Structure 1
Amino acid sequence: MYRPPPQTGRPVIFMVHGGAWRIGDKTNHSVVKTKVRRWLKQGWVFISTNYRLLPTADPYTQAADVAKALAYAQSHSAEWGADASKFILMGHSSGAHLVSLLATDSTLSDHLQLSPILGSVWLDSAALDVSLIMQQTHSRFYDKAFGTSPAYWQKVSALEHLNKDVKPIALICSTQRDDSCPQAQSLAIKAEQLGVSATLIRANLSHHQINATLGDNNTYTHQVEAFMRGLNPALGAFLKPAK
């Protein structure tokens, strides 16, 4: 957890690292460095969380781990000068997949009495429709994550869980990949049909750069901040003026 000097009512970015569901850590530079450098100065609390990895925990169990970590963070937020009602979820790659499940599947958190999140930022997940992935030619690491059960594929697909009560989503996808933007666009189309706010940002950045350069003074960061600013009028005090 990274925080500026104590104050009350600070908003929170709750970050989930990637790593193909089997590697990665909450302290990796690409996960925290640029984000902390930018947003702590503006008064945000930044929380980066770990979760159990493959083969110890399957992706749905990992999403449940993230839900428990979020519940803990919200319950202790006042101790850190933060506001439990001003949380934004963010995740990269497989971490974005876990965030997408937590944002769309209420059964992961109904028993935890979470405060509603403001919205979520999904950084270059190519696994929003797992059923589609597994029925096409795909990378072998997906087999290790999702197995062979069509019922499980549906269970871990945000596209299957998307509903009209989902909070606003920012879908960032890399135009340098073949699979990320089509998955993001499909979800954005369904979101529009349901009346869910979904902002699609196509970035001419690599998969790694989408994570590592968020927080740099660039157009991409400004686009993400514009989404964040629109979630709650109070967030304007914690973000640089729009360009």
Structure 2
Amino acid sequence: MRRYLLLMCLLAAAPAHAGWLTERLAARLEAQMQEQDAVPWRLRQPGIATQAGLAYGADARQQMDAYWPQAGVQGMPVIVMVHGGAWRTGSRQSAAVVAAKVGRWVPQHMVLVSLDYRLLPQAAPLQQAQDVAAALAWVQQQAPRWGGDGRKVVLMGHSAGAHLVALLTASRPLQQAAGLQPWLGTVALDSAAYDVPALMQRRHFRFYDQAFGADPAGWPAVSPLAQLQQPMPPLLAVCSQQRPDKPCDEASRFVARARQLGGRAELLPVARSHRDINATLGSDDGYTRAVEAFMAGLDPALASRLRP
């Protein structure tokens, strides 16, 4: 963690002309984040049931794991979690993705589903968003098998996963193509890719080129802001105040546009690292309670289960 913080400081302090240094530091930072988040998590908490490797498609990456209380409760809200990893790596079983969230919310009589999706170079971000849409539609249909209510789903994603859930939330065509029913709302955990055309036309990390390509004609289709043409499901945009690329700037523009269109959208800037925004969500602290306050406002049944 100390090395992570040092790298963040160096990235923030690097002068504009030191692009090569910034790029090398970014690569090291990304590699460290992936190494930390690659640690698989094993469920050891009593009273929680799980099903692993549930297929929502034919590809080996199109699988999910579900966690729910063994108490036999019915009609529970469902949280669907989408991992990050620069659109080319990551795992639904990472400790940073599921451990704290399962530990807090499943004992409160909620179902948590963590999903994988196809990655670069096999699938571009638009195809990945289609995977997320297919997985969400599958959860809406299958939630009763775990005691869940498919009408009471919160969609959540971190990093690249936050971009994908924001894109799906903004894009009516993606929703319609998957046959999705309305869901309660979306929590996007620290995306810096709400406005892809603007992102690609300024200095950016190399992994964005690998994700979005060099052709400007393709950028709007994977840009949540460009796809936001009508009111969307409620969305909370969590953003790190510690990142040198200032994701809160893009998030605030997306939130403002959603509000202009009559939707409910909120911005939650937090003084945490990109990784900790994901890994510590579910800890008993003010950050988790702020996210829960948004979720509680989505549905009375969800509010009744969250800790005060």
TM-score band, normalised by shorter chain: over 0.9
2:128 is matched by which residue type in structure 1? Q
Structure 2: how far apart are the matches of 1:108 and 1:37?
Answer: 32
Map of 1:185 onto structure 2: 252
Matched, 1:201 2:201: no
Matched, 1:227 2:299: no
TM-score of the superposition, structure 2-length normalised? Answer: 0.77
Matched, 1:112 2:199: no
Measure how far apart 1:198 and its partner are.
Answer: 0.9
Map of 1:24 onto structure 2: 90
Map of 1:39 onto structure 2: 105
Measure how far apart 1:82 and its partner are.
Answer: 0.5
Measure how far apart 1:102 and its partner are.
Answer: 1.0
Structure 1: how far apart are the matches of 2:100 and 2:220?
Answer: 34
| Larger relative contact order, structure 1 or 2 (CA cutoff 8 Å, min sep 6) | 1
Structure 2: how far apart are the matches of 1:189 and 1:61?
Answer: 27
Between the aligned residues of both structures, percent identity stands at 51
CA gap 1:60/1:140 in 2 versus in 1, 3 angstroms: same
**More divergent stretch after superposition (64-73 vs 30-39):** 64-73
Structure 2 counterpart of 1:158, from 224, 239, 244: 224
Measure how far apart 1:93 and its partner are.
Answer: 0.2
Structure 1: how far apart are the matches of 2:285 and 2:229?
Answer: 33
Deviations 1:182-201 (A, max 9, x none): 11011111122112111100
Matched, 1:4 2:65: no
For structure 2, the 5+ residue unaligned runs are: 1-65
1:119 is matched by which residue type in structure 2? G
Counterpart of 2:272 in 1: which secondary structure? coil
Measure how far apart 1:128 and its partner are.
Answer: 0.5
Structure 2 counterpart of 1:62, from 99, 116, 128: 128
For structure 1, the 5+ residue unaligned runs are: none
Structure 2 counterpart of 1:81, from 147, 157, 172: 147
TM-score of the superposition, structure 1-length normalised? Answer: 0.97
1:173 is matched by which residue type in structure 2? C
Structure 1: how far apart are the matches of 2:140 and 2:132?
Answer: 12
Measure how far apart 1:164 and its partner are.
Answer: 3.4
